[in-house]
Amino acid sequence: MHSLQSNDTPNESSRLLLAKLWRQIAPTLAENSGRVALALGCLLLAKGGLLLIPFLLKGLVDSLNQTPVPAPAALILLMVVAYGTARFANTLFAELRDTLFGRVTERAMHRLGLAVFKHIHSLDLAYHLNRRTGGLARDIERGTNGVSFLMRFFIFNIAPTLFEIAMVTGILLYNYGVNYSLVVLLSVALYGAFSFRATRWRTRFIREVNAADSDSNTRAVDSLINYETVKYFTNEDFEAERYDQSLEQWEQARRKNRLSLLALNGGQAVIIAVSQTLMLGMAALSVQGGNMTLGDFVLINQFMLQLFIPLGFLGFVYREIKASLANIERLFLILDQQPAVTDKPDAGTLAVAAGAIEFQQVDFGYGQERQVLSELQFRIQGGETVALVGASGAGKSTVVKLLFRFYDPTGGAIAIDGQDIRDVTQQSLRRAIAIVPQDCVLFSDSLLENIRYGRPDASDEEVEAAVAAAHLVEFVSRLPEGLATQVGERGLKLSGGERQRVAIARAVLKDAAILVFDEATSSLDSESERAVMGAFRALAGHHTALVIAHRLSTIVDADRILVLEDGRLVEQGNHEQLLAQQGRYTDLWQAQQREAAQILDHP
Ligand SMILES: Nc1ncnc2c1ncn2[C@@H]1O[C@H](COP(=O)(O)OP(=O)(O)OP(=O)(O)O)[C@@H](O)[C@H]1O
Ligand SMILES: [Mg+2]
């Protein structure tokens, strides 16, 4: 089970977890305190009815058994009705309690779900690149369910059952002497101690099941997301084999879990059976010896039944609580995750004037081992269009990620209009930049909604204007459903060029001071490319624009071109100046010209 015992296997003490849980649900409880109080009142009434039942039974049996003159029928009938009423009250108030409290647990689940969602969105890109969507979804689902279970049972089962045990012991002690209450206390103590130890021993099996469950879900989701790749390489069997392996692990974990449950349940049953037999035997002997009435015998038997049912339930609840705690610890692990990129407490909003960008001696690497950007220094004036070129992997997209502050540089600083981007809120920073990303993925929604995503409150007219600006009109007019067309999961029903133009339309709607265009590596046919670049140029006109280009022909008219090599700025200038320098840019340019010529020669 090596993969299950990974570093992130949670192992927090239950106490700490409960404290965290409490912090999560306390506001909801406080807010609904009236409802909670009513539910507690119902609980007391239900238990009151339950405690009355053995006494009513005893009264009935003794009246029926009364010699030589039987009790009057009216009295007996009255007791029967009282018995029925007590039973009904018990059930009714228990139901009312659950109904009243249901709203509170659902509200708490709602809150927690939302908090987790917001929290995950607040985490940095590095976290999201490492996350495993399938497993994460499972952890969240199990966690919120666990919270709901804990809330219901902690409040309504443990405390009341303990109260009931105390009452029963007291009643037995008062009415029948020390022996009976001693048996009750001993068996309860034994039962409790056994359940506690056995359950603690079982927790690791539950964890194993959870880990295996998340693991297999991760596998399944990952494989389905990569459907096309699986088909390209005809690796269906390979995928099935891997899924099979992880399901196998899950099955093994479940088997161990079940066996351990058998051991626990078996042990508990033995303790209950022995003590119940003992009590019954003692009572039977007393009746036979004439020290007790038949009614007493019935009362003791009834109390034992009533006591051990909730006690057995308490065992179940304790077990489930441990399981729920194991479930929620993964959820709290997510909540404990701190984003690497955070706003300073006193961060202000970015004040954008011209939209000038400055990189000052920026160093950066994704990990310790490899430096991706080294002492990168450049300045883009407000309104200027600057192109960033360089080989694949040179660090061009990384420059954009730093500008968006998905990561912080390890050295140097980045400023917009003279303000260090670490000193302003991430929200205000990102609002100031519109991007057409290198791989543009869309939401599984209509074309219209995907474009409107650039500014959710944009009117239909504004969206149409953006569609026109992004040269999408002709494409949309050819679609039978027009803008209402569904684009498929991650927008995969559109071509790469179409997706990119959707991204441009979004950027148009966002209408930010700074514009970034990260050209797709997959080269578009020249007509689509002209459409995309034309749309972009029209947009760039009155903005500060940073264009990352793979095909140099698209950026010959940029105000300035920065040439990046291995994360260093090696040359800069406009097209003519750079050609005159006969350096890296000239090499790149000539290589691409040769390629273009070859394609023309051998189409
Ligand atoms: N999240 C990441 N974790 C680790 N390494 C990364 C990460 N993202 C990028 N890299 C590495 O950083 C280097 C620079 O990547 P970057 O995406 O900036 O290249 P690029 O210049 O945009 O290339 P391309 O022209 O192919 O888009 C690459 O070698 C890449 O492998
Ligand atoms: Mg890139």
Q: How confident is the model at residue 164 (pLDDT cuts 50, 70, 90)?
A: confident
Q: What digits encode the pLDDT tens for the residues 107-129?
A: 888 898 899 899 988 888 888 88
* Calpha distance 113→248 (Å, rounded): 30
- Nearest-CA residue for atom 7 of ligand 1: 366
Q: What digits encode the pLDDT tens for the residues 353-371?
A: 889 999 999 999 998 888 9
Residue type, 136: L
- Nearest-CA residue for atom 11 of ligand 1: 393
Question: Ligand 1 center to residue 398 CA distance, Å?
Answer: 6
Over range 228-252, report the average pLDDT: 89
Neighbours of 535 (CB within 10 A): 23
* Environment class of 446 (CB within 10 Å of its CB; exposed 0-12, middle 13-18, buried 19+): middle
Per DSSP, the residues of 15-28 read HHHHHHHHHHHHHH
Q: Is 396 in the pocket of ligand 1 (CB under 6 A)?
A: yes
Q: Is 398 in the pocket of ligand 1 (CB under 6 A)?
A: yes
Domain positions in the chain = 109-336
What is the per-residue pLDDT for 165? 81
Q: Indicate if the pLDDT at residue 2 is higher than 50.
A: no
Q: Is 129 in the pocket of ligand 1 (CB under 6 A)?
A: yes
For 171-180, 404-413, 534-543, which range has the lowest pLDDT when averaged over its residues? 534-543
Q: Is 366 in the pocket of ligand 1 (CB under 6 A)?
A: yes
Q: How confident is the model at residue 5 (pLDDT cuts 50, 70, 90)?
A: very low
- Nearest-CA residue for atom 18 of ligand 1: 395
Q: What is the DSSP letter of 490?
A: G
Q: Indicate if the pLDDT at residue 216 is higher than 70.
A: yes
Q: Is 201 in the pocket of ligand 1 (CB under 6 A)?
A: no
Q: How far is the CA of 209 from the CAs of 65, 363, 411, in angstroms?
A: 56, 44, 44
Q: Which CATH architecture has domain 109-336?
A: Up-down Bundle (1.20)
Q: Is 392 in the pocket of ligand 1 (CB under 6 A)?
A: yes
Name the residue of 131, 364, 366, 406 to mutate for ligand 1: max ligand atoms within 8 A of Cβ. Answer: 366
Q: 415, 460 in Cβ contact below 8 A?
A: no
Q: Which residue has the higher pLDDT, 491 or 155?
A: 491
Name the residue of 398, 516, 546, 588 to mutate for ligand 1: max ligand atoms within 8 A of Cβ. Answer: 398
Q: What digits encode the pLDDT tens for the residues 53-71?
A: 888 998 888 888 877 777 7
For residue 388, the cross-strand partners are 548, 562
Neighbours of 489 (CB within 10 A): 15
Contacts of 472 (CB under 8 A, 6+ apart): 498, 501, 502, 505
Q: Is 99 in the pocket of ligand 1 (CB under 6 A)?
A: no
Q: 447, 491 in Cβ contact below 8 A?
A: no
What residues flank ion ligand 2 with Cβ within 5 A? 397, 438
* Calpha distance 578→563 (Å, rounded): 9
Q: Which of 275, 271, 267 is nearest to 198 (CA)?
A: 267
Q: Indicate if the pLDDT at residue 419 is higher than 70.
A: yes
Q: Is 371 in the pocket of ligand 1 (CB under 6 A)?
A: no
Q: What is the DSSP letter of 552?
A: G
| Residue whose entry in the numeric block shows the structure tokens 């290589």 | 591
Summary mean pLDDT of the chain: 85
Q: 419, 351 in Cβ contact below 8 A?
A: yes
pTM: 0.73
What is the per-residue pLDDT for 600? 63
Q: Which residue has the higher pLDDT, 473 or 17?
A: 473
